[in-house]
């Protein structure tokens, strides 16, 4: 009787209440808050009850639609809140860093005295700063900036601790938002206004900002040229002032948005906040769908795991009606990976080791520029006089920008058809031509040609290495070992988690072994290069050294050709996607657009994409900045640079070998190994940042470049293996080329931002170590982001949900 009353309530009110409870029990969020209610027996209802139920179901649909819209809005609010807080944190760092630079420079130089000639011809013994300098405005401004940065970091950090603590943090943040809008904003305005007012109080510019911008400071600039660049620090503090005004605007927006459900009016009110307006347009664009009730909200998953999870891993995934588990990877015997194919894959990487276009090519390029510039170290390039370091960074930015276009065009070929290997062959031929082209460029008059070889060489190297790397997930998942694991999974002898672990370890094995083999053989190549250097007597003259660099680039190119041929011949042309009747290039562009759209559903993939963007930018720029400092220290001696490379590559082989053995021995995850590398990148930038304050340490001494090569090889170089394996961790099966293309484009986008920013910093400060301020902050933020916001286990669930939804959509299209 109780079961019957469930379907045929004699009381309409009771029936409404039951249906209301059913509505809230539906899995709108993708997982249940409790186990589902068992099915009840069928009961025939009266015609009156049928009409009543029919009308109620219409109301029920309306309720579901409203709940869906509400969930969608809340999801979008959560996304925007996270992004706005991250931007607020970055803006706080942008305010804190310039004012910190000024304080550090003041403390370093306040007791340095010089004899200064005054306009009337008399001399005076004085410091670089104003007499009785007022530092309290700078310290007060620094304190406010530091507190703001700490509070913003604490807000982001709170997302780590589950739903319960996140709710508490949200409550505290809500209160702080109002105080921010009423109090903190006032503090910022007051502090910055007082700070600015002190610049010219009583006609004196005796505070730090006012003094650096004053005419009096410019008069003594030549006497303190080696200690303080007044114009640069004037600009730095002005930039901090502008950032503080943006911070105030950002705080007003954060407080306003919490009290309005109509974000469009807020956008209209705050359109001058360029960054947040762009973010808002991206996150609040409504998805196009013909039936909003056809599927669950495709919004992002929560930032952190729920505090309580009664139904562990429950996801709204269609159930497959079969008694036999189906392995996620299906195998075709004709495409099974052979041992010869794997070693041919390793062989290509031995040749594409970077010695040609990534190591000695840049060295030869910079060497010719220094000879052409002479003692001034300044050349006319791109419309103005620039330092050599600035030219190098600018060329890097140009190269990486062009790479974006190249990947947008060629990326389509990698996903469609079976002729992806042809792309790698053509790009390799271009790289071979550039390598041999250096034989004709070895005098200082040829430095303009060296610019072109350098830029195109970087493009050729990065594209070949990317299209080669994209093959390893397919190789790993077509091995005999994975086929056996798939059979065991289908027979029920292992779990899905065990199969995923075997897949992860096989991908790491191929990626790490390729890196290890390349490192070992690269030592042999470098040993031969040392013999070539001695034969050419590179230490006897500048001309011999120039010619030696060109010869070794050509030699390494010849090795690359020999090592590439086996891969060109033995790689199996596994089929990609079928473009159908669509042009391949158009299909590729559509595919990239599809990836940009769908990645919002893959929350963890998006989180890693952001972290990869930031940390990759930091590492690329760090290596370039340290490389220019290293080349200056060893005076571009090709033999000395070769010895350093041998040490670095030997350390690299030991490092990647040790990382892989430790991972295999203790069964550690890819992310664990990756985070160790990320921390080491932060330490590397911290090392360089010390060099801003002192000449005793921080990439200024010869012994440091030797220690750097060992540290970089042992603890940082594994990035080039584990960062790629991490991409495969967050990539849905069958979408490898799609996502590697996307990550490559994002990586190249990030890689030209850092060099351009660093070039501007060097131009403004005149200090080649000054970019480490920016790089240290960027590395630290990206490391924290990757640790707190990337969860590989959750990514696997999201990937499966993504693939199942895609399959169901395709099935609906076929039925229609």
DSSP per residue over 215-269, as a string?
A: HHHHHTGGGGTTT--HHHHHHHHHHHHHHHHHHHHHHHHHHHHTT-S-HHHHHHH
Helix 542-570 and helix 420-437, axial crossing angle in degrees, nearest 10: 160
Which range (31-35, 56-60, 118-122, 574-578) has the least confidence?
A: 31-35
Q: Which residue has the higher pLDDT, 585 or 148?
A: 148
**Confidence (pLDDT) at 795:** 93
Q: Tell me, what's the pLDDT at 677?
A: 97
Quote the CA–CA distance of 673 and 719 in Å, as a whole number.
9
For residues 722 and 263, which has the higher predicted lDDT (pLDDT)? Answer: 722
Q: Which of 17-21, 690-694, 710-714 has the lowest mean pLDDT?
A: 17-21
Task: Tell me: pLDDT of 306 over 80.
Answer: no
Q: What is the pLDDT of residue 668?
A: 93
**Which of 809, 804, 741, 405 minimizes the C-alpha distance to 577?**
741
What confidence tens digit (pLDDT) does each residue in 593-621 have? 766 676 678 999 999 999 999 999 899 88
Which residues are CB-contacts of 227 (< 8 A; sequence separation ≥ 6)?
Answer: 109, 112, 128
Residue 177's pLDDT band (cuts 50, 70, 90): very low
605: which 2 tokens? Answer: 């993939």
Task: Give the pLDDT confidence score for residue 219 in this predicted structure.
Answer: 76
Q: What is the pLDDT of residue 807?
A: 75
Answer yes or no: is pLDDT of 202 > 60: no
- The residue-averaged pLDDT of 153-177 equals 56
In total, the chain counts a number of residues equal to 816
Q: At what angle do helices 447-469 and 388-415 cross, to 10 degrees?
A: 40
- DSSP characters over 419-457: -HHHHHHHHHHHHHHHHHHGGG--SGGGHHHHHHHHHHH
Q: Please indicate whether residue 584 or residue 507 has the higher confidence score (pLDDT).
A: 507
Tell me whether residue 581 is exposed, middle or buried, using C-beta atoms within 10 angstroms of its C-beta: 0 to 12, 13 to 18, 19 or more. Answer: exposed
pLDDT score for 13: 43
The proportion of the chain whose per-residue pLDDT surpasses 70, expressed as a percent, equals 66
What is the pLDDT, as a whole number, of residue 432? 96
Cβ 800 vs Cβ 171: under 8 Å: no
pLDDT of residue 3: 38
Residue 46 CA: distances (Å) to CA of 7, 10, 18, 43, 49: 11, 11, 18, 10, 5
Taking CA atoms, 457 is separated from 181, 387, 451, 461, 758, in Å, by 52, 22, 10, 6, 22
pLDDT of residue 729: 93
Predicted local distance difference test score (pLDDT) of residue 662: 96
- 246 vs 335, more confident: 335
pLDDT (tens digit per residue) in 509-547: 999 999 999 999 988 998 898 899 889 998 888 899 999
Cα–Cα dist 628/638, whole Å: 14
> Following CA atoms 722, 724, 725, 726 in sequence, which dihedral angle do they give, to the nearest 10 degrees?
90
Q: What is the pLDDT of residue 51?
A: 44
Between CA 128 and CA 115 the distance in angstroms is 10
pLDDT value, residue 12: 42
| Average pLDDT score over residue span 719-725 | 92
Rounded Cα distance, 534 and 313, in Å:
63
User: In terms of Cα–Cα distance, which of 727, 722, 779, 725 is closest to 750?
Assistant: 779
The region of weakest confidence among 80-94, 348-362, 470-484, 697-711 is 80-94
pLDDT score of 663:
96
Q: What are the tokens at 156?
A: 């982001």
Helix (H, G, I), strand (E, B) or coil at 379: strand
- pLDDT for residue 440 is more than 90: yes
Inter-CA distances, 804 with 52, 500, 604, 732, Å: 36, 17, 17, 11
Q: What pLDDT shows up at residue 579?
A: 66
Q: Which of 193-197, 466-470, 502-506, 641-645 has the highest mean pLDDT?
A: 502-506
Tell me what pLDDT residue 727 has: 92
**713 DSSP assignment:** I
- 253-279 average pLDDT score: 36
Residue 136, token pair as written in the block? 């309290």
pLDDT at 548: 92
The pLDDT of residue 762: 82
Q: Is the model more confident about 377 or about 350?
A: 350
Q: Give the model's confidence band at 680: pLDDT under 50 very low, under 70 low, under 90 confident, else very high.
A: very high
Please state the domain extents for the chain: 76-116+126-283, 333-571+582-815
Q: Which of 521, 515, 779, 792 is nearest to 658 (CA)?
A: 515
DSSP per residue, 601-622: T-HHHHHHHHHHHHHHHHHHHH
How confident is the model over 294-310, as a mean pLDDT?
A: 32
Give residue 1's pLDDT: 40
More confident residue, 507 or 6: 507
pLDDT at 218 (0 to 100): 76
How far is it, in rounded angstroms, from Cα 98 to Cα 243?
10
Backbone angles phi, psi at 759, to 5 degrees: -60, -45
8 Å CB contact between 453 and 434:
yes
Q: Which pair of structure tokens corresponds to residue 657?
A: 């070998």
Return the HEC string of 553-577. HHHHHHHHHHHHHHHHHHCCCCCCE
The answer to which of 166-175, 208-217, 588-597, 625-634 has the lowest mean pLDDT is: 166-175
**Is 22 a residue whose pLDDT tops 80?**
no
Is residue 289 very low, low, confident or very high in pLDDT (cuts 50, 70, 90)?
A: very low
Whether the predicted pLDDT of 181 surpasses 60? no
Tens digit of each residue's pLDDT (9 = 90 or more) over 651-663: 999 999 999 999 9
* pLDDT at site 766: 79
Tell me which of 342 and 65 has the higher pLDDT.
Answer: 342
CATH architecture of 333-571+582-815: Up-down Bundle (1.20)
pLDDT category at 21 given cuts 50, 70, 90 is: very low
* More confident site: 6 or 15: 15
CA–CA distance from 653 to each of 343, 461, 642, 692, 713 (Å)? 17, 21, 16, 31, 8
Beta bridge partners of 343: none
SS3 category, 126:
strand
Residue 734 above 80 pLDDT?
A: no
**584-614 CB burial, b ≥16 within 10 A, e <16:** ebebbeebbeebeebbbbbbbbbbbbbbbbb
330: which DSSP letter? -
* Cβ atoms within 10 Å, residue 165: 14
Closest CA to 713 of 641, 644, 618, 778: 644
Whether residue 42 has pLDDT greater than 50: no
Closest CA to 204 of 131, 111, 139, 135: 131
Question: pLDDT for 736-789, tens place per residue?
Answer: 777 876 787 777 666 667 777 887 788 778 788 889 989 999 999 999 999 999
Structure-model confidence comparison of residues 420 and 13, the more confident one:
420
Mean pLDDT of 487-499: 89
* Closest alpha carbon to 572 in 468, 475, 480: 475
pLDDT at 504 over 90: yes
Residue 179 has pLDDT above 50, yes or no: no
Mean per-residue pLDDT of the chain: 74
């Amino acid at each position: 009787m109780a079961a019957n009353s469930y379907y045929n309530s004699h009381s309409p009110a009771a029936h409404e209440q039951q249906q209301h409870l059913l509505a809230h029990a539906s899995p709108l969020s993708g997982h249940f808050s409790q186990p589902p209610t068992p099915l009840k027996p069928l009961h025939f209802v009266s015609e009156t009850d049928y009409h009543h139920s029919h009308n109620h179901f219409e109301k029920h649909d309306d309720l579901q639609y409203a709940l869906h819209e509400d969930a969608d809005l809340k999801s979008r609010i959560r996304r925007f809140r996270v992004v706005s807080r991250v931007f607020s944190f970055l803006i706080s760092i942008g305010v804190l860093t310039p004012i910190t630079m000024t304080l550090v420079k003041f403390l370093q130089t306040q007791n340095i005295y010089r004899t200064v000639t005054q306009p009337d011809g008399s001399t005076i013994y004085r410091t670089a700063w104003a007499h009785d300098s007022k530092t309290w405005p700078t310290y007060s401004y620094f304190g406010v900036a530091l507190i703001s940065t700490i509070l913003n970091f604490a807000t982001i950090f709170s997302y780590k601790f589950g739903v319960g603590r996140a709710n508490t943090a949200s409550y505290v943040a809500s209160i702080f938002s109002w105080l921010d809008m009423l109090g903190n904003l006032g503090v910022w305005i007051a502090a910055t206004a007082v700070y600015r007012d002190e610049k010219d109080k009583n006609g004196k510019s005796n505070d730090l900002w006012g003094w650096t911008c004053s005419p009096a400071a410019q008069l003594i600039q030549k006497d303190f040229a080696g200690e303080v660049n007044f114009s640069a620090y004037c600009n730095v503090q002005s930039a901090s002032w502008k950032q503080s005004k943006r911070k105030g605007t950002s705080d007003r927006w954060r407080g306003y948005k919490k009290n309005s459900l109509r974000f469009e009016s807020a956008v209209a009110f705050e359109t001058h906040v360029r960054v947040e307006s762009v973010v808002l347009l991206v996150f609040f664009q409504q998805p196009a769908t013909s039936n909003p009730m056809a599927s669950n909200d495709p919004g992002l998953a929560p930032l952190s795991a729920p505090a309580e999870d009664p139904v562990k891993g429950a996801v709204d995934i269609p159930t497959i009606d079969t008694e036999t588990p189906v392995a996620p990877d299906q195998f075709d015997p004709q495409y099974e990976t052979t041992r010869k194919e794997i070693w041919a894959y390793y062989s290509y990487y031995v040749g594409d080791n970077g010695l040609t276009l990534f190591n000695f090519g840049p060295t030869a390029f910079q060497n010719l520029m220094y000879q052409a510039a002479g003692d001034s170290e300044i050349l006319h390039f791109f419309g103005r006089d620039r330092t050599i370091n600035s030219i190098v960074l600018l060329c890097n930015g140009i190269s990486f920008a062009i790479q974006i276009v190249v990947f947008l065009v060629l990326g389509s070929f990698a996903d469609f058809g079976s002729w992806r290997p042809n792309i790698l062959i053509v790009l390799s031929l271009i790289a071979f031509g550039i390598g041999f082209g250096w034989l004709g460029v070895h005098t200082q008059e040829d430095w303009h040609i060296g610019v072109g070889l350098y830029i195109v060489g970087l493009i050729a190297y990065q594209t070949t290495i990317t299209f080669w790397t994209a093959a390893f997930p397919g190789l790993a998942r077509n091995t005999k070992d994975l086929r056996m694991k798939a059979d065991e999974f289908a027979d029920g002898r292992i779990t899905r988690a065990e199969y995923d672990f075997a897949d992860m370890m096989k991908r790491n094995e191929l990626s790490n072994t390729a890196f290890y083999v390349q490192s070992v053989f690269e030592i042999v190549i470098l040993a031969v290069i040392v013999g070539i250097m001695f034969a050419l007597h590179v230490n006897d003259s500048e001309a011999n050294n120039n010619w030696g660099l060109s010869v070794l680039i050509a030699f390494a190119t010849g090795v690359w050709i020999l090592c590439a041929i086996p891969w060109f011949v033995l790689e199996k042309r596994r089929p990609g996607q079928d473009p159908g009747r669509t042009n391949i290039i158009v299909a590729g562009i559509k595919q990239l657009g599809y990836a940009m759209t769908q990645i919002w559903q893959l929350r963890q993939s998006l989180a890693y994409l952001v972290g990869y963007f930031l940390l990759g930018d930091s590492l690329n720029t760090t290596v370039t900045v340290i490389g220019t400092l290293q080349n200056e220290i060893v005076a571009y001696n090709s033999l000395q640079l070769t010895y350093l490379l041998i040490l670095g590559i030997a350390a690299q082989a030991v490092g990647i070998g040790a990382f892989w053995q430790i991972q295999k021995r203790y069964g550690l995850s890819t992310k664990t190994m990756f985070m160790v590398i990320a921390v080491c990148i932060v330490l590397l930038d911290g090392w360089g940042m010390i060099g801003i304050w002192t000449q005793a340490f921080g990439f200024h001494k010869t012994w440091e470049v030797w220690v750097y090569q060992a540290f970089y090889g042992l603890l940082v170089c594994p990035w080039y293996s584990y960062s790629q394996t991490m991409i495969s961790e967050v990539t849905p099966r069958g979408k490898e080329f799609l996502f590697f293309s996307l990550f490559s484009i994002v990586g190249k986008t990030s890689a030209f931002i850092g060099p351009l920013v660093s070039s501007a910093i060097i131009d403004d400060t005149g200090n080649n170590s000054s970019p480490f301020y920016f790089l240290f902050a960027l590395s630290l933020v990206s490391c924290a982001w990757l640790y707190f916001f990337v969860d590989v286990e959750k990514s696997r669930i999201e990937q499966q949900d993504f693939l199942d939804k895609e399959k169901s959509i395709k099935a609906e299209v076929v039925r229609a």
